[in-house]
Amino acid sequence: MTTADSPCIASETTPLVPVGLSKKPKTPLPKFQIGILMMLHVTEPIASMSIFPYINQLIRELGITGGDDAAVGYYAGIIESLFFVMQSLTVLKWSRLSDRIGRKPVLSIGLLGTCISMLCFGLSTTFWSLVVSRCMCGVLNGNIGVLKTMIAELTDSTNMAQGFALIQIFWRVGTFVGPLMGGILAHPQDSWPGLFSHSFWRKYPYFLPCAVAACFVVLAYFMLFFFLEETLSTKRRPKTTSTTLGVTSGDGVDDREVLAQESMADMPMRSLLTPTIVIPIANYAMLSILDISFRTLTPLFLSTPMYLGGLGLTPSSIGLWLALLGIADGLLQALFFAKIVDWVGPKRLFCLAVSCFTPVMLVFPIMSWLVHTRGMVDHAIIFALLGQLVLTVVWGLAFGTIFMFITASAPAKNVLGAINGLGQTSASVARAIGPALATSLFAFSKEHDILNGNAVFVILIVLAGVLRWLASQLPDEMQVRDE
């Protein structure tokens, strides 16, 4: 317990527990509370990814490209980036606010913001109304950083890999449900004319997937309100009351410890910018920019007409393929992530995962060449897509690992909110740059036939080399303070 004479930040001599080397028995996860967190977490990829199968078609239908299919990427990239641009400006403030007022109030605001913005997106009929709704979602949603903080507060060094694996598992569940839902429910008046014959659905053909995504968010909000317990120690409800001077809760947190933790929440951010913290965050930022670039390039490439080197698939086909990618990734995370971390080690696993990005990118020009020579989507292209899927699933293992490194870099648990907020800010900036950069480079490469339209993949491969170097700077043994 922290006393008035002891520092509230653990010193460099505080005993550490090496992850993967600890002989302690694994602490059981608090399944009910983590289950609720995962239900909240899954709503974000459902909401954000549900627009991916149809965003390129929506841009075409708005008529802002003047019929130029190659220019669709510019506008789609702007829409996909805006959420992360606005989130990068506010997510750190939300995370630091959660260190002061608690995790639940911040999560509530984020869910309500996501719900309202999705409904507005579905009712948008102009490019600028799409812009406003995506900006609204980004400003009001800082949930991902707070969720990671709560997972860290609910786990210790013996079960942290399991906890962070769940983040990726449920994210991939969302990336399965979101694109599948977006692809199937877009233009419902064409798919189910008997049920959706009203003129409303012709005026707003993308409202249905947005409304269904909003319903998921509302359900998550009620789960948070009624069942989720606060994890910030200074805001927990006392379980017992003691008349002993200074004792305020059944958790053994006394008044002096509360004051120390509250002062920690207000410490300057620059005091946290040490190499131990910055290196994992830099890896997370570069990982995020490459991942979101791939995620936005995939539906764009799949929807691009074959004469421009794409596959010319429909939104429903794109949604099904993205859903398959999400479920395959989620299954690997669920069944094997914690075991692979224990077997290989966090750093080696991260280095192996990020090394898969280069071959993932090389599959795109291979498929373009196959389409050009064969003139159709045949078995060879499907085989290439399946190979890319396998590599992408291995690439996805990098996220759970880097979350562990970021958590391990915290000097004390009572600054986890600030550190996760800093990490999420960096990731949001990267994700804001990624879609606009990748889709614009894709469009520019196709329009000007640079490297046969493949310049964007070369640039991303170079950035993957930078990430591989950053990965080598991570500590060989990841260590976590359990106190």
Give the per-residue pLDDT at 47.
85
Token pair, residue 376, equals 């159709």
Return contacts of 116-119, CB within 8 angstroms, 24+ apart: 116/140, 118/47, 118/210, 118/211, 118/213, 118/214, 118/217, 119/210, 119/211, 119/214
pLDDT band per the 50, 70, 90 thresholds, residue 412: low
Per-range mean pLDDT, top range of 164-173, 297-306, 405-414: 297-306
The fold adopted by the segment(s) 31-227+259-480 is Growth Hormone; Chain: A; (1.20.1250)
Give the per-residue pLDDT at 30.
86
CA terminus-to-terminus distance, the chain: 9
The pLDDT tens digits for 32-69 are 999 999 999 888 888 887 888 888 888 888 877 766 76
How many Å apart are CA 60 and CA 319, to the nearest integer?
A: 18
Spatial neighbors of 290 by CB under 8 A, at least 6 apart, are 357, 434, 460, 463, 464, 467
Please give the C-alpha separations between residue 219 and each of 23, 39, 222, 385, in angstroms, as whole numbers: 40, 9, 5, 35
Lowest-confidence pick of 62-71, 112-121, 439-448: 62-71
Token pair, residue 451, equals 């490297």
Sign of CA dihedral 310, 286, 175, 207: negative
Give the per-residue pLDDT at 414.
63
Among the listed residues 435, 325, 334, the one whose alpha carbon sits nearest the alpha carbon of residue 387: 325
How many Å apart are CA 187 and CA 58, to the nearest integer?
A: 10
How many Å apart are CA 151 and CA 336, to the nearest integer?
A: 19
Token pair, residue 92, equals 């750190």
Residue 77 has pLDDT above 80, yes or no: no
The more confidently predicted of residues 426 and 330 is 426
How many Å apart are CA 431 and CA 304, to the nearest integer?
A: 22
Give the per-residue pLDDT at 465.
94
The pLDDT tens digits for 364-390 are 988 888 888 877 777 888 898 889 889
The pLDDT tens digits for 232-257 are 777 666 544 433 333 344 444 444 44
Residue 482 has pLDDT above 60, yes or no: no
Exposed/middle/buried for residue 276 (C-beta within 10 Å: 0-12, 13-18, 19+): middle
| Tokens 């799409």, residue located | 130
Give the per-residue pLDDT at 269.
62
Mean per-residue pLDDT of the chain: 79
| Tokens 């005091």, residue located | 271
Compute how many other C-beta atoms are within 10 angstroms of the C-beta atom of residue 258. Answer: 17
Residue 266 has pLDDT above 70, yes or no: no
Give the per-residue pLDDT at 282.
92
Residue 479 has pLDDT above 80, yes or no: no
How many Å apart are CA 41 and CA 60, to the nearest integer?
A: 31
Residue pair 13/204 in contact (Cβ under 8 Å)? The answer is no
Token pair, residue 170, equals 């449920």
Q: For the chain, what is the total number of helices (H) and then of strands (E)? A: 18, 2
Among the listed residues 230, 193, 196, 177, the one whose alpha carbon sits nearest the alpha carbon of residue 45: 177
The more confidently predicted of residues 171 and 127 is 127
- Our CA angle for 473, 89, 79, nearest 5°, is 100
Give the per-residue pLDDT at 74.
76
How many Å apart are CA 342 and CA 481, to the nearest integer?
A: 18
How many Å apart are CA 305 and CA 49, to the nearest integer?
A: 22
The pLDDT tens digits for 127-145 are 889 889 988 888 887 787 7
The pLDDT tens digits for 198-244 are 889 999 999 999 999 999 999 999 999 999 988 877 766 654 443 33
The pLDDT tens digits for 93-104 are 888 888 888 889
Residue pair 419/91 in contact (Cβ under 8 Å)? The answer is no
Exposed/middle/buried for residue 35 (C-beta within 10 Å: 0-12, 13-18, 19+): middle
In DSSP notation, 101-165 reads: H-HHHHHHHHHHHHHHHHHHHHT--SHHHHHHHHHHHHHH--HHHHHHHHHHHH--TTTHHHHHH
Residue pair 294/399 in contact (Cβ under 8 Å)? The answer is no
